Structure 1
Amino acid sequence: MDDPVSAKLTINKKKYAIDIAYRGSHIRDFQKKSYQLSFYKPSMYRNAKEVHLNAEFKDPSMLRNKLSFDFFNEIGCLSPESRFVFLKINGKNEGVYLEIESVDERFLLNRQLPKGSLYYAVDGDANFSLMSNLDKEVKKSLKLGYEKKYGTGEDDERLQELILAINTISREEFEHEIVKYVNVDKYLRWLAGVIFTQNFDGFVHNYALYRNGETGLFEVIPWDYDATWGRDVNGEIMREDYLRIEGFNTLTARILDVKTFRTQYKNLLEDVLNSTFNVSYMKPKIQEMHDLIRLYVQKDPYQKDNMAVFDEEPAFIMAYIEARGNYIRSQLGMLD
């Protein structure tokens, strides 16, 4: 069911009238559901009109989404705020959830960012290409793959101009022309975030596009990052060398075809490896997050019988960071 239903929500004894709906596609078949909440009386909660509650059902650590959003923020990307909550529905424990900020007009206002358009990449056609990723034919519309969250009809035209420019600017002109459409520094930081966390779907899905209304430049915002840090969408182990450092999608390929941008990207990867993506820096963050929710995971009806695995996950994630970091270092020469 996609239609929301009315509900009453109590947070720390304060009552809210809300609409609630299931969120996600395949995840709604899981025992533990994920939800989208819209507030209408009062109309705001923590400066938000809408929040998402993610069950993190396939992530045995329950940490990966938040770990990813925090990581993206630290390396200089726009990223949703998130925090853990414990949910009860009709008096029954539903367990630990990750409350995620909605990427909408409030997202921009809360950061004092210029007004601009926001689009969600909803399927594999959000690949920055003229060709469909789904049926391998020329797209009937350059808006395919995107759902407008905030903006106007004129913004739709700007989005289509972006896709057309990415695919038609000549190789000789690309370095000087693409900067009129894309904030390349921000794009490379997002690309680095996808590469470090190893979100395989992140190049054509699991992101939002923001066009800054003042600069006219697009940048990318991460979304749905639970299948990361060494595990895939089913919670199975993903090898540390599964995702190449050059990434995928048409825009990434064209940007990394430019030596100036490629060098900038290589230097960024080295900086992040030395400052952020390493065990000594990440270990206390991972352990603190794990300790914060452990007592509540024990009360989660869907997770309480898996505490042994939950307690092993911080070490698993740190082993991934070590192995992935070593792999990325071994591949940096590919960017020369």
Structure 2
Amino acid sequence: MSNDVQSYYLLIEEGDLEDLRSDIWNDMPVPAYLTVEEKTYDIDISYRGSYTREFRKKSYWIDFIKPKRFYGYREIHLNAEYKDPSLMRNKLSFDFFQELGVLSPESQHINLTLNGTYQGVYLQLESVDDLFLKKRGLPPGPIYYAVNNNANLSLMRDNKLKHSLLSGYERKIGSYSDDVYIEELIYKINTPQSDFPHIIIEYLNIEKYFRWLCGAVCTMNNDGFTHNYALYRNSQTGLFEIIPWDYDATWGRKVNGGIMRYDYVPIEGHKDNHLPFFLLQVPEFRKLYRNMMEEILEVQFTVEYLEDKIVSLHQAIRPHFLLDPYKKKKISIFDSEPEFIFRFIRDRGIYLKNQLMKFEK
């Protein structure tokens, strides 16, 4: 998608708006109208997110009722990106993953006006569903959202046995009968045998997983190892692939917008997710990951490669940031963010290259 910032106009009747605001934790949507480029859509709308619902600038989930499609989407997410001083990290991350060959949502910045009042700059995210697969020419298959930290692909959390292998997952697409596949995946990961390398390749697309792992490690999304992802099982290959989600706490920033040191996440990934650990015990898998990461650190994860993308996106957002009622007073921080991200890329790149020395060639 281009960096053009379109204008979206929401109209919610006062009674429905009061219902929406009366309980920020209620997922029940209210009816509304969305106008984009002089075309009006009947929609359902609700708040989205977890702790982000408490922020002054709310994020939204939109379902299209009539017509049922919006530029090919059935539903979209509008993220406020409230704690990201750059408003760019989510999009930068998804675009970066796409460069690496990882299935990732499309995203674009938009201006949102609600009942005539400008709400600021938002990031529109594509929903990961059956249409997501169809647009990419992929075969149908179940999709599971990792909705909390129980989705650590482990049998345990905080040294306690989980009550279910499906704990932490929410089935977005598929049927009850599909659950057995993700249960088998988690069980096989956590009961490794001597023939683990031969078993795991029957459940997981190893190359795609390592491409995701490279992206998660480079962008340093600490949360992305225990939630903030989706699992898709390709019905033709029978293999799972991982899809990133909610990557605003990246490129050197924490979820609260504070600074995260460039060495916070090790090159092996998050210790609470067992899958990277077990995979990297296998010499051929370890070599694959090492070679993949080495190439990415030389090519894609460099200031030289990313500078134009970051600068052009920053310049496209800036005029709208100046008008955002929730962000405009922080323009000085916004203006310093490209250099902050460049510094993170340099420091993180050096750190990861040093970490690669531990890996056998």
Fold shared by both chains (TM-score > 0.5): yes
**Alignment partner for residue 303 of structure 2, among 255, 259, 279?**
279
Q: Any idea what SS the aligned residue of 2:160 has?
A: coil
Report the RMSD for the aligned CA atoms in angstroms.
0.8
Which whole-Å CA distance do the structure 1 matches of 2:264 and 2:151 have between them?
Answer: 22
Number of aligned residue pairs = 333
What does 1:1-336 correspond to in 2, within 5 Å? 1-131=26-156, 133=157, 136-170=159-193, 172-248=194-270, 249-336=273-360
Distance in 2 between residues matched to 1:319 and 1:164, nearest whole Å: 41
Using the TM superposition, give the Cα deviation of residue 167 of structure 1 relative to its aligned residue in structure 2, in angstroms: 1.4
SS of match in other structure, 2:357: helix
- Determine the C-alpha separation between the residues in 2 that align with 1:69 and 1:45: 21
Moved over 3 A (4+): none
Which SS does the other structure have where 1:213 is aligned? coil
Structure 1 unmatched ranges of 5 or more: none
2:359 & 2:326 partners in 1: Cα distance? 44
Task: Find the counterpart in structure 1 of residue 18 from structure 2.
Answer: none
Secondary structure at the aligned position of 2:309 is classed as helix
SS in 1 for 2:77: strand
Shift of 1:275: 1.1
SS at match of 1:95: strand
* Identity among equivalent pairs (%): 53
- 1:213-270 alpha-carbon deviations (Å, 9 max, x no partner): 1000001000000000000001001110111001121111110110111111011111
**If the length of structure 1 is used for normalisation, what is the TM-score?**
0.98
Query: Which string of whole-angstrom CA distances, capped at 9 and with x for unpartnered residues, describes residues 195-218 of structure 1?
Result: 000000110110000000100000
C-alpha distance in 2 between matches for 1:187 and 1:308: 38
> Counterpart of 1:75 in structure 2: which amino acid?
L
Aligned AA for 1:118? I
Amino acid at match of 2:333: V
Shift of 1:76: 1.0
Cα displacement (A) at 1:165: 1.2
- Measured in 1, the distance between the counterparts of 2:333 and 2:192 equals 50
Q: CA deviation at 1:334?
A: 2.0
Pairwise CA distance, 1:139: 1.9
Q: Please report how far the alpha carbon of residue 138 of structure 1 lies from its aligned counterpart in structure 2 after TM superposition.
A: 1.7
Cα displacement string for residues 131-186 of structure 1 (whole angstroms, at most 9, x for unaligned residues): 1x25x32222111010000001121111111111111230x211111000000000
TM-score w.r.t. length of structure 2: 0.91
Secondary structure of the residue aligned to 2:125 is strand
Match of 2:4 in 1: none
Deviates more, 1:100-109 or 1:122-131: 122-131
Separation (CA, whole Å) in 2 of partners of 1:329 and 1:20: 45
